[in-house]
Chains A and B, each alone.
Chain A
């Protein structure tokens, strides 16, 4: 009986907190809208919602935008599970995209399946190598990954800029700083006719499943989590801490790289100077953390952020709220979702203690039980 009650409370809680959080952020956002535009907040929010989940096309869009976020979120989460703060998903994403472009454009004569696979692998490896660098610097020199990953993001941006302005610049059509288009044999097609969501969604789902199975079902993933939570205990249990760190960053970088690869071969079609104006990496961090670094959480929050992105676009287009106001509302949603536990004050004391005493780890347990 008690179990059922707790389950019920937990169920209500998982829905209750984010919903209240979003409502409050929209409430505050409406003040901003009223102050800065002629649009009624209700109309603005309607377009926000419609743009995200209003109809099939909107939802299609939301899913499309969620895919890269899910990959970068997995990247952050994978490293975090091993105690590494990977702020470098941004750069790993870009390098993955670069590698995929090189393989995609560079071997145009391959048949579809091998070419596509090769391109995906290239994207993964590109990101993995770029994730390996901070890991090696950390275990060899003790260089804080917090800084090296940020620095590598800036470096990646310059690498991309250099590549599309030179070595891989598309010489066929014109001299724009962009690569040649990815040939059809290396492109991930849409899943359904008339929709844009592509097979990358399935790759993302598989990546999430891999993340879950690897961390909670395999020895190697278990090692990684132990090292992340208590390296002393890991050492004591005979685990190789350096190797765990390297492994986690290889996977983390690989996830991000795969995301970058898919964004290019399924959505953007070619690598451009401006391919990464969306902050895929940093949004991924928010997605991972809002999702509690756990697989289902990342999926849900990835879709939420995808929707936020899609809806924001529509809101900007359909109302006279400017893009900066839309930005403000997006920020408010992030703040309140991340701070959703504040609404616990309204619920029973019992609930409050549970949520406080057992923060994200409760989700781990749920993961294992299945």
Chain B
């Protein structure tokens, strides 16, 4: 195979932060090349340099043997490079199809959106990732947005496709179909750079990999087949031994912490999103919610946290009725919430780490005094501790949260929430975008919280995560509870059927 891309001696500095240091990357035509590394290792930065979003501090790029100087994404696109960004590059106020054709070279002066929508629908059907082209992007779930990002790049027929953590919020089925697409693309001679923290995925789909650690290359162009196990890879990335086991004993449950009874709710589009949902969580247990993204999980969490009104039903937290109460009152019941979209909701990008770490608890001691003043010296100390404990890689606690790498932003939010010793912990995609080490650490922390006596509601599109961590698993489909299964009774096949809206495994679609 010929070398399609060579990045030579690339360095990228952000002020005092060195994100990439003399990185070499060689990608062969037609391969799927994995780019691996811990959170903050510099993967996204390297790809942004390639895509023309960042100008490298030093180094050269050769594409198809020729030296290229890519200064804008426009140039990258013209060269046939496409990129799916770690953080969505979508325009929420526009429709799906408008997002797709935006900036597309093949557009006429007058847009024919109907035709474009037909082409797009056909293409998305082919790839098994259907999205209504006329929907406004802000109405899409995170998973749908991720699919749209991939489809957007495919629509442009890129030759070299960079996928920066595309699977972070996809369901297993979606991951499978994405892999099918990737295989088809490579068979068509296209080349993929694939960034992921999930070893299984890398083993399945990638040919070779390059590993970054602290901005430097530690393994270049290594054959994926040479990787023995996750342990080896983790050690390669981190540079030392890592514990990848999640120790979990049986649950010892206590009082009922969360009691949801007959809850129905409309989503932001005013469509029915939850229908008569009933369940409870006791202290010391983890209830996992399994379901294909967009089946009411977001709404359920929002109803419990007071961010979305319920139309009927009751939600009791620690015996206190919380339906349609102000978020603040609910938080006072000891609720911690790792939100699904960290950038949109979970943090304030333009504030620094310290300010982000006191977001939930700023209004009482020891964060602030009775008189209403914040205790910055305490917060400062506490923030340092948290950053250390949750391995948030940052130049300091006065760094802007928005400047952290995606995974580190996640650690920031997760760390903050876990640290609150909540009675009820609601964790939505808690390990989204985290590297292997961090994922395991966060998962074991969630289990620890359970063992401490917290009730945990775990929402994840990652079926493995749900199955590993949960004591009981609730399957949701189109806003309705399909069933609640104890962990030991759960098997993938049965869960998969329930998630697809089929009961009793007889293939019959249940009436909802």
Cα–Cα distance between A296 and B247 once the two chains are bound (Å): 53
Please state if B373 and A365 are interface contacts (CB–CB under 8 Å).
no
Selecting from A85-93, A192-200, A228-236, A306-314, the interface stretch reads A228-236
Please state if A225 and B351 are interface contacts (CB–CB under 8 Å).
yes
Please state if A357 and B373 are interface contacts (CB–CB under 8 Å).
no
Asked if B266 is an interface residue, CB under 8 A from chain A, the answer is no
How many chain-A residues does the 8 Å CB contact rule pick out?
Answer: 31
What is the CB-to-nearest-CB distance from B312 to chain A, in angstroms, rounded to a whole number?
Answer: 23
Cα–Cα distance between A218 and B376 once the two chains are bound (Å): 10
A235 interface neighbour in B13, B307, B329, B400, Cβ under 8 Å: B307
Q: What residues of chain A lie closer than 8 Å to B305, measured between beta carbons?
A: 236
Cα–Cα distance between A357 and B349 once the two chains are bound (Å): 13
Asked if A353 is an interface residue, CB under 8 A from chain B, the answer is yes
The winner among A236, A240, A368 for most chain B CB atoms within 10 A is A236
Cα–Cα distance between A232 and B348 once the two chains are bound (Å): 9
Please state if B398 and A233 are interface contacts (CB–CB under 8 Å).
no
B285-327 interface code vs A (CB 8 A; 1 in, 0 out): 0000000000000000000011100000000000000000011
Please state if B337 and A236 are interface contacts (CB–CB under 8 Å).
yes
Please state if A229 and B348 are interface contacts (CB–CB under 8 Å).
yes
Please state if B374 and A365 are interface contacts (CB–CB under 8 Å).
no
Please state if A219 and B362 are interface contacts (CB–CB under 8 Å).
yes
**Chain A residue at minimal CB-CB distance from B335:** A238
The winner among B306, B327, B349 for most chain A CB atoms within 10 A is B327
**Chain A residue at minimal CB-CB distance from B358:** A222
Q: What residues of chain B lie closer than 8 Å to A222, measured between beta carbons?
A: 355, 358, 362, 374
Q: What residues of chain B lie closer than 8 Å to A235, measured between beta carbons?
A: 307, 327, 345
What is the CB-to-nearest-CB distance from A222 to chain B, in angstroms, rounded to a whole number?
Answer: 6
A217 interface neighbour in B16, B345, B363, B374, Cβ under 8 Å: B374
Cα–Cα distance between A239 and B345 once the two chains are bound (Å): 13
Chain A stretch 208-260: residues in CB contact (< 8 A) with chain B: 216-220, 222-223, 225-226, 229-230, 232-233, 235-240
Asked if B328 is an interface residue, CB under 8 A from chain A, the answer is yes
Cα–Cα distance between A225 and B352 once the two chains are bound (Å): 12
Q: What residues of chain A lie closer than 8 Å to B14, measured between beta carbons?
A: 353, 357
What is the CB-to-nearest-CB distance from B407 to chain A, in angstroms, rounded to a whole number?
Answer: 19
Known A217-B373, A222-B374, A361-B350; judge A236-B327 contact (CB<8 A).
yes
Chain B stretch 329-375: residues in CB contact (< 8 A) with chain A: 329-331, 337, 339, 344-352, 354-355, 358-360, 362-363, 368, 372-374
Q: What residues of chain B lie closer than 8 Å to A369, measured between beta carbons?
A: 398
What is the CB-to-nearest-CB distance from A242 to chain B, in angstroms, rounded to a whole number?
Answer: 11
What is the CB-to-nearest-CB distance from B333 to chain A, in angstroms, rounded to a whole number?
Answer: 11
Cα–Cα distance between A353 and B344 once the two chains are bound (Å): 25
Asked if B15 is an interface residue, CB under 8 A from chain A, the answer is yes
**Chain A residue at minimal CB-CB distance from B371:** A218
What is the CB-to-nearest-CB distance from A77 to chain B, in angstroms, rounded to a whole number?
Answer: 15
Asked if A350 is an interface residue, CB under 8 A from chain B, the answer is yes
Please state if B348 and A238 are interface contacts (CB–CB under 8 Å).
no
How many chain-B residues does the 8 Å CB contact rule pick out?
Answer: 39
Please state if B344 and A238 are interface contacts (CB–CB under 8 Å).
no
Please state if A219 and B373 are interface contacts (CB–CB under 8 Å).
yes
Please state if A361 and B398 are interface contacts (CB–CB under 8 Å).
no
A351-363 interface code vs B (CB 8 A; 1 in, 0 out): 0011001100100
Cα–Cα distance between A235 and B345 once the two chains are bound (Å): 8
Cα–Cα distance between A240 and B307 once the two chains are bound (Å): 12
Asked if A2 is an interface residue, CB under 8 A from chain B, the answer is yes
What is the CB-to-nearest-CB distance from A49 to chain B, in angstroms, rounded to a whole number?
Answer: 36
**Chain B residue at minimal CB-CB distance from A370:** B376
Known A6-B16, A217-B376, A357-B403; judge A236-B307 contact (CB<8 A).
yes
Please state if B363 and A233 are interface contacts (CB–CB under 8 Å).
no
Please state if B362 and A365 are interface contacts (CB–CB under 8 Å).
no
A1-28 interface code vs B (CB 8 A; 1 in, 0 out): 0100010000000000000000000000
A92-105 interface code vs B (CB 8 A; 1 in, 0 out): 00000000000000
Known A6-B16, A222-B355, A353-B14; judge A232-B373 contact (CB<8 A).
no
A233 interface neighbour in B306, B329, B331, B347, Cβ under 8 Å: B347
Cα–Cα distance between A233 and B362 once the two chains are bound (Å): 13
Please state if A229 and B362 are interface contacts (CB–CB under 8 Å).
no
A350 interface neighbour in B15, B344, B348, B351, Cβ under 8 Å: B15
Please state if A365 and B352 are interface contacts (CB–CB under 8 Å).
yes
B345 interface neighbour in A220, A223, A236, A361, Cβ under 8 Å: A236
**Chain B residue at minimal CB-CB distance from A351:** B15
Please state if A229 and B351 are interface contacts (CB–CB under 8 Å).
yes
Please state if A218 and B374 are interface contacts (CB–CB under 8 Å).
yes
Cα–Cα distance between A243 and B291 once the two chains are bound (Å): 37
Please state if B400 and A232 are interface contacts (CB–CB under 8 Å).
no
Cα–Cα distance between A354 and B15 once the two chains are bound (Å): 6
Chain A stretch 327-370: residues in CB contact (< 8 A) with chain B: 350, 353-354, 357-358, 361, 364-365, 368-369
Interface contacts beyond A232-B344, A353-B13: sample of 8 additional A-B pairs, CB < 8 Å, sorted by A: A222-B362, A223-B362, A233-B359, A235-B327, A235-B345, A238-B328, A350-B15, A357-B15
| 5 CB-based A-B contacts, threshold 8 Å | A230-B345, A230-B349, A235-B327, A238-B329, A240-B328
Question: Contact residues of B with A, CB < 8 Å?
Answer: 13-16, 305-307, 326-331, 337, 339, 344-352, 354-355, 358-360, 362-363, 368, 372-374, 376, 398, 400, 403
Going nearest first, the 9 A-B pairs with the smallest beta carbon separation are A238-B328, A238-B327, A230-B348, A238-B331, A236-B345, A232-B345, A354-B15, A229-B350, A229-B348
